[in-house]
Structure formats: structure tokens, C-alpha cells
Amino acid sequence: MTYRLAFTAALLLAAPAMAQTLDDRHLPVLPRTPAEAARIARVLAPPTDFSAPEKFEAKPGGAATTRAIATADAFSQSSENMPFGREMDFKLGNGLFRKTWVAAPSSTKASDGLGPFYNARACQDCHIKDGRGHTPEGADEPRVSIFLRLSVPGGDPVPAIADYIATSPEPTYGGQLQDFAAPGLTPEGRMGIDWREEPVTLADGAVVSLRHPTYRFEAPANGPLAPDIQLSPRVAPQMIGLGLLEAIPAADILAHADPEDADGDGISGRPNIVMSAEYGVPMLGRFGHKAGAPTIKEQSAGAFAGDMGLSTPLHPDPWGDCTAAQTVCREAPHGQEPGIRDGLEVDAQSLDLVTFYSRNLAVPERRGLDDPQILRGKEIFHQAQCAACHVPKFVTNRLKNQPEQSFQLIWPFTDLLLHDMGEGLADNRPEGRATGREWRTAPLWGIGLTEQVSGHSQFLHDGRARSVLEAILWHGGEAGAARDTVVNLPTGDREALIAYLESL
Ligand code: HEC
Ligand code: HEC
């Protein structure tokens, strides 16, 4: 990666086709003046003094940052700078996020249409307390906040996207394994997980056990699986700060990309680029563990369809992820009726409200950031090159009519780019331009409140890590050198690094 800020020129040289199309058309952007751009470049410079916190570091979400309340509701607060007049929309959106959908036909006309196949009945069954999901606790615990994406190699090329890796949904089971079905239908099958423990010894003699998962599609109900099926486990991520991530200028994200590792630091970083269902053009992918969705609205519409089998204006089929081969599912009752909810299961207004809610879940403020141990941990974070991918700071676009996200200095600790994380984390299932070894850098803001909100401290795309340290030890590929630095740290410095992460 590079800290180059002359991004437009560099980008035009590197990838002319990309520069034309990867804009922020999803946002009401007011362009920056040259004077603003210069000021932003100064504000975003990496820190050189670790003896005191940086200015504004306490507020990772800028003026949208909320107080860090000491309960499990810490991720459920609205943007602090949200005008009073928008609170009703946030509450209505929250209602839809928590709403438990039921299968059709039902007497509750406003809430039916679930399935026929589904993974959960409400957004918040997966994004529990607006935080992250978890791995199943026992062999029999239902798989709810984690699921398997499915595909087979090959399919239609997308000529508009350079280096696009074509895949197709599994021909019978579609893009996702749904573990649940409406009454009278048999679920598609079941996600199986086996664990294997592997001890890792650190330089100071401490031993950490990493649990290696193996995933299976068990008990397929509609016939055999394609022999070349690809499985990708996904645990639901935390929901805070998403509107701010959505408001980072695409050009500023692309400025960190270094696909050929021109600066020779061993860290490349590539943008995912995906065809937008809403705008019909290639857009920068930002959301999901492989940055497969360009906007919160598309990710949410995808969740309604894929996770709950509910139609929206972006995915109007009422049967969600059922394939043409799953005739029983396609012919089962659905929740669409002319004149009700725009003839869809989830109308445009409801999708907009859920999107507004998801955009405005606030990032809590930092804790203890002037503690000497935490400041030492910050220094190690920078020395170990964690900041090369977990980019600390951005300034969001200036936006018309979107005051909560407009022109904020934010500290998300992600570049939103894809990185090869090595064989250990590979799912071997491409998505868009992301290879089977690449993942989007996870944002680290709020990570220290995970235990408080979720009652567990599971990390990474499938929740395999049981602590922040385990998560770091899983880093490989481009992040292998950063991991080795942590393995070789003196005990006190390792503890300082973890204390710093816990303060985010
Ligand atoms: C069955 C579990 C499940 C349900 C139900 C669910 N999600 Fe998600 N959600 C996920 C997973 C898993 C991901 C990561 C997806 C990926 O990697 O492609 C995700 C990602 C997201 C993201 C992007 C977060 C990020 O950091 O990139 C948003 C926004 C989101 N979901 C919103 C919603 C909304 C709104 C609903 C309800 C309409 C919903 N989700 C329902 C599991 C779920
Ligand atoms: C080459 C880029 C890169 C570097 C360098 C890097 N990371 Fe990461 N980090 C990632 C990616 C990508 C993920 C998501 C991986 C996944 O979900 O499987 C991640 C995930 C994490 C997570 C888990 C977050 C969550 O919400 O689950 C933590 C904690 C973390 N990194 C800390 C660090 C620390 C500390 C360092 C420095 C020692 C570091 N990372 C260096 C790319 C990087």
C-alpha cells in the first residue's frame, strides 16, 4: 500500500477503465475544494509522536460518535449528530431490523413472505444486538448467525470488470445454504463444522491454540451437490459505522490500492469491483467479508432475498435463493399481493428505512486512549505494519442532505481493500474480483466492546478466532510479516498491543 494522495493522476495511469466508472454515484456528493483536499492530506498523515493521543482520536466516528455505554446496547445507538427530525426514521428502521417475519399465508399480512427457504427470521437474529454473530456452540445448536455461501466455478464473464472471476450459483441449491424452511417444506440441508486444535508457541513461550474449521454441506435434501461446489463460511459482522464507510470517497480508497506492490512492502491491496444491482454499472465493493456489495442498500436487499427469502425492489422474486430446480420451493405460497406493499414482500420505503437505520448505528467513543500502555500498543500497531491494511483515518465526502456522514474525520482501521491472507484463512471461493485467498480488511473500530455486546470474543469472517490474539495469529499471506512481528514481541509489548485493540 502507499500513502500517495495524488490518487487521481496515479489511478488514471494505472487503470483508465476503472477510473471512469468507480465513482460515488450512491451519494449526494458536494465536491471538495483544493484547499480542503490539502487540509485533509495534512490531517490524514500517519502519526510520528506516540507520547499522547492524536487530535480527535477519541471520536472514531467523528461527530456521529456516541458515548461508550457500559451495556450490551453499546452498538445500538444512533449517530450522535442526527437531526431530531430523523429519529422517527431511525426508530422505524430499527423496528424493521428487529421484526420477525413469518411464512405466507398468514393473517399478519404486513409480516409474511418469509422463505420458503431461509437462514433466519429477522436481521437481528444474525446481527445480534447490532453486533456480530457467532459459531454454533454445540453440534445441535441451530446455525443462525453464520451460513455457507455456495458456488461453482465458471459462468458468465463480466467484460466491464477487469480480472472478474466468473462463478455461478450451485445449480440446485443456489448461492447460499438455507438451514430452515417454511412449514411443510424440507430445509436444503445443514451446515456441518468440524474443529481441530493446533497449538502455536510464541517467542516468549506462551502457547495459544488455534481452532481449524472444516465445513460440510450435510444432508442435501434436493439431490446431489455439484462435484466442484465451493463453500464459503460467513459470520454476520457488527453493524456500527457502516454509513461512514459508505461515505468514504471511492478515490481515497483506491489511492491505497497497490495491486503490484509497487512500494515493495509486501502488502498489495486490491479493490473489489462488482456490478451494482441498483445502478447497473461496476462499482467499488465495500460491504461483506469480500467486499461483494457496493452499498448498504444492496447488501440489505441481498440479505432480505438470500437470508430471509423476502422480495424487494432490487430482488423482486418472492422465492429468494430457490433455484429453478427447486420447484416445490418456487411454487410454495409467498407474501406478494397486488396493492399490498407495492406488490412486494418488502416495499421500497421499508428497504429505505432499514438502510437508513443500518447507516446510522453509531461508533462508540474510545476508552483510555491516553493510558501509557495503550499508547505503547498504538506504536507497536504502527511498527508492525498493521496500519498498512487497517488504515486508521479517512475523511468522508461532503454530502448534501446526509448530515450524519458528511465531512467527518473517521478512524475505522480498514482500507476496505482485499488482501491475500494466506492458505490458513482461504475459503477457495472467489467473489467478484476477490480470489479464494482474499478478504476485505475488517474494520477494527468498536472491537474492544465485542465481549460486552455479544458475550463472546469471536473474530474473523467465520468466528474461528476466540480472542484478538488468535485473530492476529491467523494472519498470513500479505499479513504474514505483521503476524511474525507479533509472535516475536516481548510479553509486555504484546499485552500493550492487545490493550490498544481493546481500547478501539
Ligand atoms: C442469516 C444471517 C443474516 C441475516 C438474517 C442478515 N444478515 Fe446481514 N450479514 C450477514 C453476513 C454473514 C454478512 C457478511 C456477508 C458477506 O460476507 O457477504 C452480513 C453483512 C451485512 C452488512 C454489511 C456489513 C459489513 O461490515 O460489510 C449489512 C449492512 C447487513 N448485513 C445488513 C443486514 C440487514 C439490513 C438485514 C435484514 C434485512 C440482514 N443484514 C440480515 C448475516 C445476516
Ligand atoms: C495485509 C493486510 C493486513 C495486515 C498487515 C493486518 N491485517 Fe488484520 N485483518 C486483515 C484482514 C483481511 C482481516 C479479515 C480476515 C478474515 O476475516 O478472515 C483482518 C482481521 C483482523 C482482526 C479481526 C477483526 C474482526 O472483526 O474479526 C484483527 C483483530 C486484526 N486483523 C488485527 C490486526 C493486527 C493487530 C495487525 C498487525 C499485527 C493486523 N491485523 C495486520 C488484514 C490485515
Whether 387 is in the pocket of ligand 2, judged by its Cβ within 6 Å, is no
User: What sign has the CA pseudo-torsion 108, 110, 116, 121?
Assistant: negative
- Residue span of the structural domain in which 160 resides: 34-503
Q: Name the closest-CA residue to atom 32, ligand 1.
A: 300
Using the mean position of ligand 1's atoms as its centre, give its distance from the Cα of residue 300 in Å.
7
Strand residues in 219-261 grouped as ranges (E): 230-235
Of 471, 487, 470, 486, the residue nearest 209 (C-alpha): 470
Residue 15 domain flag: no
**Tell me: the pLDDT tens digits for 392-406?**
999 999 999 999 999
pLDDT of residue 21: 63
**Tell me: the pLDDT tens digits for 210-233?**
999 999 999 999 999 999 999 999
- Out of 123, 149, 321, mutate this one to test ligand 1's pocket (max ligand atoms within 8 Å of CB): namely 123
User: Are 296 and 358 in contact, with CB atoms under 8 Å apart?
Assistant: yes
Q: Please list, in sequence order, all residues whose beta carbon lies within 8 angstroms of the beta carbon of residue 366, skipping any fewer than 6 positions away.
A: 57, 58, 59, 60, 68, 503, 504
For the beta carbon of residue 382, count every other beta carbon within 10 angstroms: 15
Which segments of 309-347 does DSSP mark as H helices, in order? Answer: 327-331
Burial of 138 (0-12, 13-18, 19+ CB in 10 A): exposed
Domain count, the chain: 1
pLDDT of residue 138: 80
pLDDT of residue 137: 85
- Give the angle 387-390-396 at the CA atoms, nearest 5°: 110
Of 251, 242, 268, the residue nearest 445 (C-alpha): 242
Of 297, 9, 292, the residue nearest 151 (C-alpha): 292
Three-state DSSP at 465 gives: strand
Residue 28 domain flag: no
Q: Which atom of ligand 1 is nearest to the CA of 239?
A: 24
Q: Name the closest-CA residue to atom 30, ligand 2.
A: 472
User: Are 21 and 160 in contact, with CB atoms under 8 Å apart?
Assistant: yes
Helix 348-359 and helix 296-308: axis angle, to 10°? 120
Residue 2 domain flag: no
pLDDT of residue 8: 38
Residue 21 domain flag: no
Q: Which atom of ligand 1 is nearest to the CA of 461?
A: 17
Model's pTM, two decimal places?
A: 0.96
Whether 461 is in the pocket of ligand 2, judged by its Cβ within 6 Å, is yes
- Out of 246, 307, 438, 460, mutate this one to test ligand 1's pocket (max ligand atoms within 8 Å of CB): namely 307
- Out of 75, 124, 126, mutate this one to test ligand 1's pocket (max ligand atoms within 8 Å of CB): namely 126
Residue 293 domain flag: yes
The residues that bridge with 394 in the sheet, in sequence order, are 410
DSSP secondary-structure letter at 472?
H
**Tell me: the pLDDT tens digits for 299-340?**
999 999 999 999 999 999 999 999 999 999 999 999 999 988
Using the mean position of ligand 1's atoms as its centre, give its distance from the Cα of residue 355 in Å.
12
Distance CA 475, CA 25 (A): 34
The residues that bridge with 246 in the sheet, in sequence order, are none
Residue 394 domain flag: yes
Q: Which three cell numbers stand for residue 254?
A: 483506491
Residue 20 domain flag: no
Cell 440479505, residue?
303
User: Are 362 and 64 in contact, with CB atoms under 8 Å apart?
Assistant: yes
Three-state DSSP at 71 gives: coil
Using the mean position of ligand 1's atoms as its centre, give its distance from the Cα of residue 219 in Å.
25
Distance CA 437, CA 216 (A): 19
Q: What tens-digit pLDDT sequence spans the chain (504 residues)?
A: 443 433 333 343 344 444 446 999 999 999 999 999 999 999 999 999 999 999 999 999 999 999 999 999 999 999 999 999 999 999 999 999 999 999 998 887 788 999 999 999 999 999 999 999 999 988 788 888 999 999 999 999 999 999 999 999 999 999 999 999 999 999 999 999 999 999 999 999 999 999 999 999 999 999 999 999 999 999 999 999 999 999 999 999 999 999 999 999 999 999 999 999 999 999 999 999 999 999 999 999 999 999 999 999 999 999 999 999 999 999 999 999 998 899 999 999 999 999 999 999 999 999 999 999 999 999 999 999 999 999 999 999 999 999 999 999 999 999 999 999 999 999 999 999 999 999 999 999 999 999 999 999 999 999 999 999 999 999 999 999 999 999 999 999 999 999 999 999
User: Are 378 and 50 in contact, with CB atoms under 8 Å apart?
Assistant: yes
pLDDT of residue 19: 44
Residue 140 domain flag: yes
